[in-house]
């Protein structure tokens, strides 16, 4: 699987979650907090790869009305970062506590996409508890539907 396909998958799965938030008729503060965290992490990692200071903190909370624009900006930034940095390039970065680490771009991407999937599952559970049918975001299901 190419990095383009995993980006496309993550973008599509996130878009489905965002659509569910748009249709929600009740407030879902825990789900909004978790999905804000997903968007923040994507933003932070894309900026780290590019050597830029992130605009958002790990647990900043965004209103659901901003999820779509934040996601579009994240994936634009992720694609720019990948166009400018080969997958085997080592990136030195600091975490939110200021501790310094070094990882390859492909390792960072694997973490970023795995992290997104993990928290989308938690958001889906919160949707279900609130009485909403969670969106289908399983990779293989989207692949079978020829969306990837």
Domain that holds residue 79: 3-143
148 within a domain of the structure (yes/no): no
Q: State pTM to two decimals.
A: 0.95
- Residue-level pLDDT at 96: 85
Residues making up the binding site for a divalent metal cation: 37, 115, 119
**CATH (domain of 125):** 1.20.120.450
137 within a domain of the structure (yes/no): yes
What SS3 state is found at 100? strand
pLDDT tens digit sequence for 81-122: 999 999 999 999 998 899 999 999 999 999 999 999 999 999
Question: Exposed/middle/buried for 16, CB within 10 Å: 0-12, 13-18, 19+?
Answer: middle
80 within a domain of the structure (yes/no): yes
Nearest to 47 by CA among 96, 14, 12, 8: 96
pLDDT, average across residues 40-68: 97
What SS3 state is found at 65? helix
125 within a domain of the structure (yes/no): yes
Number of domains in the chain: 1
């Amino acid at each position: 699987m190419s990095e383009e396909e995993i980006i496309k998958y993550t973008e599509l799965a996130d878009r489905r979650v965002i659509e569910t938030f748009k249709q929600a008729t009740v407030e879902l503060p825990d789900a909004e907090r978790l999905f804000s965290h997903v968007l923040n992490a994507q933003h932070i990692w894309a900026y780290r790869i590019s050597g830029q200071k992130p605009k958002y903190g790990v647990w900043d909370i965004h209103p659901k009305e901003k999820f779509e624009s934040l996601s579009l900006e994240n994936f634009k930034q992720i694609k720019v970062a990948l166009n400018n940095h080969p997958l085997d390039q080592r990136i030195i970065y600091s975490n939110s506590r200021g501790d310094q680490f070094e990882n390859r771009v492909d390792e960072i991407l694997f973490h970023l996409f795995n992290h997104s999937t993990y928290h989308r599952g938690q958001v889906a559970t919160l949707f279900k508890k609130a009485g909403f049918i969670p969106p289908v975001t399983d990779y293989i299901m989207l692949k079978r539907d020829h969306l990837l």
